[in-house]
Amino acid sequence: MAEMSIKKQRPKNLDLTTIKLPLPGKVSILHRVSGAGLFLCFPLILWLFSASVNSPETFATFKSIFSSLPAKVILAGLIWAYIHHFCAGIRFLLLDLHVGIEKEAARKSAAVVFAVSIPLTLIFWGVLL
Amino acid sequence: MINRIVVGAHYGLKDWIAQRATAVIMAVYTVILGAVLLVVRPSGFEAWQGIFANGFIKFVTFLFFLSLFYHAWIGVRDIWMDYVKPTGLRLTLHVVTLAALVGYAAWAAAILWRL
């Protein structure tokens, strides 16, 4: 019986241009995107950290990087990625503990993730860059 | 009620738990470091370097990096498993990812213990 229901033809849409994700879906895919972005930028992040703590000369180099616009945009992207991954991650940990798993609560908490992560990113952008 | 018989090496559950445990470690570290930075308010190189030269901060920073690399291994491996179907290519990407992360861990240790 179980096998028959699995084999039944079901409508499916995998066209990314027509899929409208609900808010929790957006939090989820951006969690993955931000994680992948942070992973790809690890060498850059470690290099920046290394420069910042190594010597007064490398620290000066580190500070001078913050003054160019392309660098600012990349760093702002990394700050957003970290904050979004952090906020969405806490939401997922709560969902794992069965906190707020009802549809309404889950949509609300997804909105909270954006409501926290975007202003926080702007604040860090203002303070650091 | 489905009587599901769990078979296999159970590494899926182990990784699932490890991903969450490392996430909690990193979240706690982020809050601790944020608090330290708010209290110390480092204004220049000396103060900034001094924070990470402190034995406790150095230790927890390294713990953060190790957690980060374990966490990233599980997450990136999941991405390869979801999107890369040819086995040979996927295996290659797994090995490259692991090698990169082990290298980053050594690099992080070198940065911290130079201080």
The full set of domains in chain B, from first to last, is 12-113 (1.20.1300.10)
List b or e across B33-57, with b for residues whose CB sees 16 or more CB atoms inside 10 angstroms.
beebeeeeeeeebeebbebbeeeeb
Per-residue DSSP letter, B9? -
Chain B residues within an 8 Å CB radius of A45: none
ipTM of the complex: 0.89
Instruction: Detail the DSSP E strand segments found in A26-125.
Output: none
More confident residue, B58 or A12: B58
Residue A5 has pLDDT above 70, yes or no: no
Q: Which residues contact B79 (CB under 8 A, 6 or more apart)?
A: A32, A36
Query: Using CB atoms, which residue from A32, A86, A93 is nearest to B79?
Result: A32
Chain A residues within an 8 Å CB radius of B111: 46, 49-50, 53-54
Q: Which residues contact A101 (CB under 8 A, 6 or more apart)?
A: A95
Chain B residues within an 8 Å CB radius of A32: 75, 79
Helix, strand, coil proportions of chain A in percent (round to 5)? 80, 0, 20
Give the residue numbers in B contacting A (CB under 8 Å), as ranges: 20, 23-24, 27, 30, 44-45, 48-49, 52-53, 72, 75-76, 79, 100, 104, 107-108, 111, 114-115
Mean pLDDT of A113-122: 96
CA distance A116 to A128: 18
Q: Which CATH architecture has domain A23-128?
A: Up-down Bundle (1.20)
Mean pLDDT of B5-26: 88
Closest CA in chain A for residue B68: A39
Average pLDDT taken over every residue of chain A? 91
Q: What is the pTM of this model?
A: 0.89
Q: What pLDDT, on a 0 to 100 scale, did the predictor assign at position A1?
A: 47
Mean pLDDT of A72-100: 96
Query: Using CB atoms, which residue from A38, A46, A52 is nearest to B48?
Result: A52
In this structure, how many other beta carbons lie within 10 angstroms of the beta carbon of residue B86? Answer: 8
Residue B5 has pLDDT above 90, yes or no: no
Closest CA in chain A for residue B76: A36
Residue A12 has pLDDT above 60, yes or no: yes
Closest CA in chain A for residue B65: A46
DSSP 3-state assignment of B4? coil
Closest CA in chain A for residue B107: A46
Average pLDDT taken over every residue of chain B? 93
Residue A82 has pLDDT above 70, yes or no: yes
